[in-house]
Structure 1
């Protein structure tokens, strides 16, 4: 066919005015996927005469002399020679114009392995032309034909194809034309058949690793784990698109059984992923699907070579239809449930359903092609998952930002409430402290000054005529000294003072008071000369003794009282014993007066142990308090 130069763009009216600026990227993509060079090559390509003949054996190195049959490309010999496994020779002849120095030769594909020679000179050969066959079914090849290989006039291209009838053995399209056009077509074919497939496998590997790590960090997100598993299975299944050898298997049949097994397992994991992503569980359906997949895998590997082809076709349909059914069910779920997370994946699943249906039609040879789009459409599902994850991440960030704002507001409110509570608690503590101080002061007045007043009143009542002015003055001075002791102990809260120094005046005053009332008071003091206590503790101890002696004076009716103040080691012990009439301790504990209550309160304040024993003729009050000694 003569070469015709395409007219310039300006010579075609309206072409430049077409909305290229608006849809430019779209048309560039169309031109890239369906290059105009193909049509140009077909216009200028020589007319090919194609014939085929069956070989006599796998080791045949030359075609038979007779039996050639005209065929058209692409050709699958299963319909012409059903069940034939072996070698088929294809002979392509054409007349080469004299003025053409170079021609591009594009071999789209052949199935399964082959060798090519031009005019009797070999130009290419697959590694293995017998089982295990080289898997060249998805590989496109390009050669630049030039003299002396290319002759003026009649040229013969001989292609030897080794294949298996069950796997669409045959020869794909062969194109001849200008080198530039053939090179462009070769780039387009290689992009579809190999580059995009390898890119898909690389993306699948990265995505499966990412979601597997995400699932390991968040085990409750089981959808991520199933997505990682199905990505790995799809990676292994998709490797069929670029594999050039059936390794590690010894034959093409074993490879196909393995590949179909991966498809079955992928379809089950895909179904479970869809359920988990919709936050649903269907144990019976999941168990049934897994059981069917396992049964299919066992059937594929246990079926003999004679039955493998039929069984493989059956289980491939089961796996493919399962994937299409999962996509359709997911689309229905997304349409019925407005808040379903599946809505973000619905467009990509629709694309997967369409490409899956197309590939099943190609597999069953309803569509005359050997290009499968499912592997490439998987990019869409991966993109959908990535967009979904990004959307969840952005949503989580917004929730975190809102949470931070709410947290700041709640913290501010809590701080204000806490400040008010603390202020109220401080006011209560201050009021409690004031009340406590008043109670302590009242107790000190009762135990100290009150006791001295009781003793003085008792003395006046018993012998008023014997009291001289000097005796009354001494009583008043004692009362003054006791009042001074209360004031000093109440007003000082820092530093310690010697307990012995404070005890001596009390001992003197109470002894005089008891003697004046006919009570013999005997003291035993040891180890307190160097004992230093805080003023509040010293006052409580003195008031304890004072109240105990006052109770003896007021209630005991005895004639002798023994007082022992002893500090030994880390214990300070106070004992008060009298020989009075005694009382019932249990009754006193229930309905005792303010004196006993005061004694117990001071013991608790001092952190001391109080023991009270009483019977007729003997009453003992003992206080044991731990002290710190230098």
Structure 2
């Protein structure tokens, strides 16, 4: 039973022992542990590893099940057969032999990588085989494999490890390093390899997916932040490009040539997005440079898909260099911009872009085989840039949070300042309104004096001028009483009178005085008054109406030369109508509007104040002044109805 369990362990890769998808915590623990144990593991492997002899031979076809008997050539690992067999696509067999010491019961075996698919057997017993060994080949180029070898599969003395590799020369087909030695040391080496080749690559892609979704949502909410939209787009493109590191099949394409054309196309489109993102993040636009970059990318994509399988490797190498150098150029230009401009937002990304530029240069050297390696770091370093964007956003968030925290204080200060400014404005406005009110009162008083006392004085003066010797003391006394009564009208208009008075009661004294004055000056004045006995108006309106009539009659006395004047005052429904008609010489109404005297201006001003309609018509022999003012008669009607109702009940 122990021998069967050991044999079972020897035939099963270590990656299948439930450790294929370690948690995030395990990843970081492995990273730290790998750094600590790396030198110890390398020393232990070197001390306990037997000497391995490696040979290779080219196969004769894609489907052969056994290697050729002759033609074996000694090789050194890692091996890429592009230099030995240029342009060869097919199968190469690798034979590794070593002498196993008798005291070693178990041995760890690590195959760092093989490119692109393969099958492994130990001493004639298969221990591993990829799903597809013919095109479309399984993409196992970045998957390390570990086995724990034990008897009876592992023999004492000579052991032979046979590895069948199916590959394409354009993509560095061959076999990577093979480590053999103490299980603990080889396993630690395997953990390190898997961390670099698979786990960190998957972590980078997962972070890219999350960050691209976050910035896409942020851009949708804030469309004006175009840099976020371009960052989300380039993150998606990088996610698709970086998937090449962990993909195990060329699906959905029919073969690896189409897969590589698609992968390089994604790199070109990513480089264009990276250019535009860097410009937008610096709040700049360069339409010519952006258009040129897009044009180069489109030309590269078309060239890759139209090149054909034979020419694709050369075209792919060219356009990969173009895309990689573009990314390095963007990183370098961003670093220069960050150094020259202290306020540039690119300063927060500068350290991460420097790392990206360094890893990009390293991977280009690996791609061109200047550096003998099979590990690419750009996918792993990509989430450094994502971290930089996250820190930038965190900084902006903290700044906004501080502003929110200080918002109440700032708001209180602004409200207090606004209140003080409003109080000052209101005080100034109140002072202006008070001044305007005083001026208005003075103007109204002047108008009342002009229309009332002024008219009476004009009439009295005219009477004295016509009959200076005929006036007795009683007549002069009557004139003075009329002036007194007119002054009393002005006082009553202030509202400080003892009891309400109808408009008819207020009109009677004015009617009497003006009739006497006009008769004394040879003008026949006839009055027609109706329906105003119960009409009550506010004192200010009553005074304005009386002054309106008084000014109209004064103008007739002073300017018309009339022999007769008719005055009509009537209340019809909800409208009060005042008309003054004379048979004087008349005047041109249009000319009066341009150069109107104080009397006409006063008439128009009172009409506006009363909310009334003023109509003026004049021709020789007939001048008519008409005023139409709406009045509220509801109260009077209700009183009348109530009286009628009471009488009816009686």
Encode CA deviations 1:447-489: one digit per residue, 9 max, x unaligned: 2344345545666776789888887776666554443332222
Contact 2:525 2:565 in 1 (8 A): yes
Q: What displacement does 1:422 show? A: 2.6
**Distance across 1 between alignment mates of 2:350 and 2:110:** 39
Q: 1:208 to 1:599 in 2, by over 3 A?
A: same
Encode CA deviations 1:484-506: one digit per residue, 9 max, x unaligned: 33222213599996434433443
Q: 1:6 to 1:101 in 2, by over 3 A?
A: closer
Moved more, 603-612 or 370-379: 603-612
Q: 1:431 to 1:314 in 2, by over 3 A?
A: closer
Q: What displacement does 1:383 show? A: 2.1
Q: 1:586 to 1:314 in 2, by over 3 A?
A: closer
**Distance across 2 between alignment mates of 1:496 and 1:133:** 113
Alignment of 1:86-125 (within 5 A): 86-125=90-129
**Distance across 1 between alignment mates of 2:252 and 2:11:** 59
**Distance across 2 between alignment mates of 1:270 and 1:361:** 21
The residue matched to 1:3 in structure 2 has which SS?
helix
**Distance across 2 between alignment mates of 1:558 and 1:490:** 35
Moved more, 62-71 or 495-504: 495-504
Q: 1:209 to 1:84 in 2, by over 3 A?
A: same
**Distance across 2 between alignment mates of 1:32 and 1:450:** 118
TM-score (ref. length: structure 1): 0.85
Encode CA deviations 1:174-207: one digit per residue, 9 max, x unaligned: 2233333333222211111111111111222222
Contact 1:10 1:16 in 2 (8 A): no
Contact 1:496 1:533 in 2 (8 A): no
**Distance across 2 between alignment mates of 1:252 and 1:521:** 120
The residue matched to 1:4 in structure 2 has which SS?
helix
Q: What displacement does 1:335 show? A: 3.5
Q: 1:354 to 1:458 in 2, by over 3 A?
A: closer
Q: 1:593 to 1:298 in 2, by over 3 A?
A: closer
In the other structure, the counterpart of 1:620 is 624
Moved more, 456-465 or 100-109: 456-465
**Distance across 1 between alignment mates of 2:7 and 2:436:** 107
Q: What displacement does 1:388 show? A: 3.2
Q: 1:16 to 1:320 in 2, by over 3 A?
A: closer
Contact 1:495 1:534 in 2 (8 A): no
Q: 1:16 to 1:321 in 2, by over 3 A?
A: closer
Q: What displacement does 1:248 show? A: 0.6
Q: What displacement does 1:571 show? A: 3.8
Contact 2:10 2:147 in 1 (8 A): no
**Distance across 2 between alignment mates of 1:237 and 1:500:** 101
Q: What displacement does 1:563 show? A: 0.8
Q: What displacement does 1:243 show? A: 0.4
Q: 1:323 to 1:453 in 2, by over 3 A?
A: closer
The residue matched to 1:382 in structure 2 has which SS?
helix
Q: 1:446 to 1:270 in 2, by over 3 A?
A: closer
**Distance across 2 between alignment mates of 1:438 and 1:375:** 89
**Distance across 1 between alignment mates of 2:4 and 2:349:** 49
Contact 1:38 1:185 in 2 (8 A): no
Alignment of 1:174-573 (within 5 A): 174-394=178-398, 412-413=416-417, 415-455=419-459, 478-491=482-495, 498-515=502-519, 517-573=521-577
Moved more, 578-587 or 595-604: 578-587
**Distance across 2 between alignment mates of 1:430 and 1:15:** 78
Q: 1:597 to 1:495 in 2, by over 3 A?
A: farther
Contact 2:349 2:385 in 1 (8 A): yes
Q: What displacement does 1:396 show? A: 5.7
The residue matched to 1:532 in structure 2 has which SS?
coil
Q: What displacement does 1:570 show? A: 4.7
Contact 1:9 1:16 in 2 (8 A): no
**Distance across 2 between alignment mates of 1:248 and 1:33:** 38
Encode CA deviations 1:229-284: one digit per residue, 9 max, x unaligned: 22222111111000000001000111111111212222233233333334444433
**Distance across 1 between alignment mates of 2:174 and 2:223:** 49
Q: 1:480 to 1:287 in 2, by over 3 A?
A: closer
Contact 2:10 2:150 in 1 (8 A): no
Q: 1:277 to 1:453 in 2, by over 3 A?
A: closer
Q: Specify every segment of 5 or more residues in structure 2 that has no aligned partner in the other structure, as ranges.
A: 14-22, 28-35, 634-649
Moved more, 418-427 or 373-382: 418-427
Q: What displacement does 1:598 show? A: 2.3
Q: 1:11 to 1:65 in 2, by over 3 A?
A: closer
Q: 1:9 to 1:105 in 2, by over 3 A?
A: closer
Q: 1:332 to 1:424 in 2, by over 3 A?
A: closer
Q: 1:154 to 1:424 in 2, by over 3 A?
A: same
**Distance across 2 between alignment mates of 1:102 and 1:569:** 124
Alignment of 1:604-619 (within 5 A): 604-619=608-623
**Distance across 2 between alignment mates of 1:115 and 1:137:** 13
Q: Specify every segment of 5 or more residues in structure 1 that has no aligned partner in the other structure, as ranges.
A: 19-30
Q: What displacement does 1:595 show? A: 2.9
Q: What displacement does 1:151 show? A: 3.5
Encode CA deviations 1:515-569: one digit per residue, 9 max, x unaligned: 4554332222344445443321221011101222233334444332111123345
The residue matched to 2:514 in structure 1 has which SS?
helix
Contact 2:242 2:379 in 1 (8 A): yes
Encode CA deviations 1:300-353: one digit per residue, 9 max, x unaligned: 111122222222222222222222233333333334444444333332222222
Alignment of 1:160-175 (within 5 A): 160-175=164-179
Contact 1:38 1:182 in 2 (8 A): no
Contact 2:37 2:188 in 1 (8 A): no
Contact 1:237 1:262 in 2 (8 A): yes
Q: 1:427 to 1:284 in 2, by over 3 A?
A: closer
Q: 1:169 to 1:423 in 2, by over 3 A?
A: same
Q: 1:283 to 1:613 in 2, by over 3 A?
A: closer
The residue matched to 2:452 in structure 1 has which SS?
helix
Q: What displacement does 1:406 show? A: 7.3
Q: 1:582 to 1:272 in 2, by over 3 A?
A: closer
Contact 2:581 2:623 in 1 (8 A): yes
**Distance across 2 between alignment mates of 1:388 and 1:505:** 90
Q: 1:184 to 1:444 in 2, by over 3 A?
A: same
Coordinate RMSD, CA, aligned: 6.2
Contact 2:6 2:151 in 1 (8 A): no
Contact 2:11 2:126 in 1 (8 A): no
**Distance across 1 between alignment mates of 2:49 and 2:344:** 55
Contact 2:253 2:259 in 1 (8 A): yes
Q: 1:280 to 1:480 in 2, by over 3 A?
A: closer
Contact 2:10 2:148 in 1 (8 A): no
Q: What displacement does 1:371 show? A: 0.4
Q: What displacement does 1:99 show? A: 4.2
Q: 1:185 to 1:2 in 2, by over 3 A?
A: farther
The residue matched to 2:369 in structure 1 has which SS?
coil
The residue matched to 1:509 in structure 2 has which SS?
helix
